[in-house]
Structure 1
């Protein structure tokens, strides 16, 4: 059977959805219930990332109708994806118990990577910074102790890093992002290496090491311009660096480009309207 996890491209959820549906067409008469159910959960996840929440829930309802006959791994995937769709649609209170159940079932059944996935989602969805940090640290400890979950370390360094930024602990955040970069370089994932470098540069700006941050972001912009897709976050950070250095005329076109790109992001416009408004103004 095709390993559908390897088909994921989280930056292009629509294309991932099409891939999963093609696989489903190919195996629907030959694969067992667990495989088909798990594949359906990933279609639902792809729909959720496109903010097609009603369609995602309809797919998950199909999975739920046969859940009692499936293995723990399938049940955990269902809990995770139902929780993710709820969380993404601002229904965190409904999502939290599903993530907790997935965490517990993952640990009990030895599905270590899925258990860490659940804990990391609790580190995103919980209601207070303290609870989010507790879950992130628990996920990190678990991933460090269970080799089958070690692939989560890069994401956890990243998530805990941003939690430290939120708490104002910038040196701690910088250390975590540098650890994330080292981990990503070991993986050889250029897209994730890019994100780690961007995160380091942003924290350096917040720590008033603006010239160094600007230099890093300009190197990332060179990568962006050599690729096929522009990155609004890089333009935003270059604008912020130039603005902080009192080079506001130079900053303006970068803010303009950042606004052009990031104003198309539905999540940002819904959750960080002040950020989008600032880009437009600057």
Structure 2
């Protein structure tokens, strides 16, 4: 049995919408384990709470660790903390190091995570190629858990096209992200985002009737779940839906 938790075991303790509760669960896991991987995740939770100084101090405490698995996790989380702190240039250095560390440790999920983060800090003229490298790594990994990155990376590719005003390409990427979302355990939650992105691209392409149909369906699904999404209502208002609420 491995000393360290797998990426899937780590992911089960995370709720990225609630980093405070996640921190509590991660600290409990750290107390019950000798693996420094949990320390890297506590640092991530602190970073999401904008407690970057504390996050970096925790990572400093395990800097130079000779275990390749810990090194892969810690370099990745240092990059994330620095990016959150507004230092993309330093973050890029650590993400690049994390890619190599993850390969050395034979952690394909972390390698793709690092590649996807590297793409997010790449210069605009290099971003698309960087996202495509991450996508290729996700699609060719033998580990099925790693392929779950496909949906997120395709969404990032769509956003890169959208930022460049390339809306047909953006729509294609968002539709592929939706197809990838259908293969995930949390498909319904993912589809709420994926469908919104598709409709957003459709509106920008002038296909307003199709966009309106998707956004109305999203509103119905939110209502059935007892939730709401202001971004859906904003799009409906722009599309001329009389039932849309305006903030």
**Do the structures match in fold with TM over 0.5?**
yes
Aligned-residue offset at 1:229: 4.3
Corresponding residue for residue 178 of structure 1: 175
Q: Which has the higher contact order (CA 8 A, sep 6+)?
A: 2
Corresponding residue for residue 135 of structure 2: 140
Q: Deviations over 1:183-233 (max 9, x none)?
A: 111224211121111110111111111222122112112222333543232
Which structure 2 residues correspond to residues 24-63 of structure 1 after superposition, within 5 A?
A: 24-25=30-31, 27=32, 31-32=33-34, 35=35, 37-63=36-62
Query: Residue 138 of structure 2 contacts residue 149 of structure 2 at CA under 8 Å; is this kept in 1?
Result: yes
Question: SS state of the match for residue 63, structure 1?
Answer: coil
Question: SS state of the match for residue 152, structure 2?
Answer: helix
Question: What is the TM-score when the length of structure 1 is the normalising length?
Answer: 0.78
- Any gaps of 5 or more consecutive residues in structure 1? 257-282
> How many equivalent residue pairs?
238
Corresponding residue for residue 68 of structure 1: 65
Question: SS state of the match for residue 208, structure 1?
Answer: coil
- Any gaps of 5 or more consecutive residues in structure 2? none
Instruction: Pick closer, same or farther for the CA change 1:124–1:222 going to 2, 3 Å.
Output: same
Question: What is the TM-score when the length of structure 2 is the normalising length?
Answer: 0.88
Residues of 2 paired with 1:221 and 1:171: CA distance?
25
Which protein has the bigger helix share? 1
Corresponding residue for residue 102 of structure 2: 106
Which structure 2 residues correspond to residues 1-282 of structure 1 after superposition, within 5 A?
A: 3-25=9-31, 27=32, 31-32=33-34, 35=35, 37-64=36-63, 67-69=64-66, 71-126=67-122, 128-148=123-143, 149-189=146-186, 190-242=188-240, 250=242, 254-256=245-247
Instruction: Pick closer, same or farther for the CA change 1:111–1:53 going to 2, 3 Å.
Output: same
Q: Deviations over 1:21-80 (max 9, x none)?
A: 22223x1xxx33xx2x1111111111212222222222222222xx423x2221111111
Residues of 1 paired with 2:95 and 2:48: CA distance?
18
Instruction: Pick closer, same or farther for the CA change 1:188–1:111 going to 2, 3 Å.
Output: closer
Instruction: Pick closer, same or farther for the CA change 1:107–1:16 going to 2, 3 Å.
Output: same
